[in-house]
Amino acid sequence: MSAPRDEYPGVDPHAAPPAGVGGGGLVEFSTRRRVTVAMFWVTMFLFGCIALFALKVNLLPDLSYPTLTVRTEYTGAAPSEIETLISEPVEEAVGVVKNLRKLKSISRTGQSDVVLEFAWGTDMDQASLEVRDKMEVLQLPLEAKAPVLLRFNPSTQPIIRLALSSKAVAKTSADSIRQLTELRRYADEDLKKKLEPVAGVAAVKVGGGLEDEIQVDIDQQKLAQLNLPIETVIQRLQQENINISGGRLEQGSQRYLVRTVNQFATLE
């Protein structure tokens, strides 16, 4: 039997390969410097733990969204009039503000909302000043109220929304009106009062449904006989249906707030 032939005579098969030839690079370094590599990863782990515990976490962080809303009220105006007389002039006035990325408007009965979206990182205080400057020189109808500048704050948005519905089937429009009125009355007088004392609840707001109202039927013939305009009756009702603060009364160490409670509570 013959011995196996050496393919590479004069070369020791157990010798380390020369530099740059099949040494494995990073693998070889990790194998030969096991302690150094282990210390490196332990150090990275410790720094990660320190950074994790030092990281601040807030349930409702103070975010400054780069969004402004210009709201203008024009009582009694139709949406088409709101768009022509309010929304379009406001858009033309504020459309040249710096860093403005998107501009849109919402025109509804009696109200115009022009929403301005700016680039992230924009100084919103400076942007608000520029928008106010544009609003001061804007010519709007005399009957319209002065525009109000609103800033979006996500921390003021509701956390939980509840929707109320009735199991009864409304057969007529009168039944629908009655159900919506009862649901609104239940939300205002019962559900709201139960939720407000709950721990952690800051505020409860009610919207939707139909609120109770009193309709006054005026005899037009008697108004004509008395030569009394309908505007006078409306103004008189508005003046009577109001609560007015009467100031403060001090008696020794006690202080009392005085006000006249004159809002209508019943039909009588």
pLDDT tens per residue across span 48-72 = 999 888 887 776 666 678 899 999 9
Distance from C-alpha of 124 to C-alpha of 66, rounded to nearest angstrom: 6
Beta bridge partners of 250: 255
Output 208 or 244, whichever has higher pLDDT.
208
How large is the average pLDDT for residues 243-265? 70
Residues 6+ apart with CB under 8 A from 130: 97, 98
Alpha carbon 193 to chain centroid distance? 24
Q: Model confidence at 268, in pLDDT bands (50, 70, 90)?
A: low
118 C-beta neighbours (distance < 10 Å), count: 19
Q: What is the pTM assigned to this prediction?
A: 0.45
CA dihedral of residues 194, 195, 201, 206 (deg, nearest 10): -130
- Tell me the per-residue pLDDT of 153-202, one tens digit each, with 9 for 90 and over: 666 666 788 899 888 888 888 888 888 889 999 998 899 989 988 887 87
Average pLDDT over residues 66-90: 89
Residue 24's pLDDT is 58
Nearest in space to 135 (alpha carbons), one of 69, 64, 67: 69
Average pLDDT of the chain, as a whole number: 81
Q: Which amino acid is at 203?
A: A
Residues 113-125, mean pLDDT to the nearest whole number = 90
Which strand (E) or helix (H) includes residue 104?
strand 100-108
For the cut 60, the answer to whether the pLDDT of residue 22 exceeds it is no
So what's the pLDDT on residue 42? 93
Question: How open is the CA angle 242-243-248, to the nearest 5 degrees?
Answer: 155
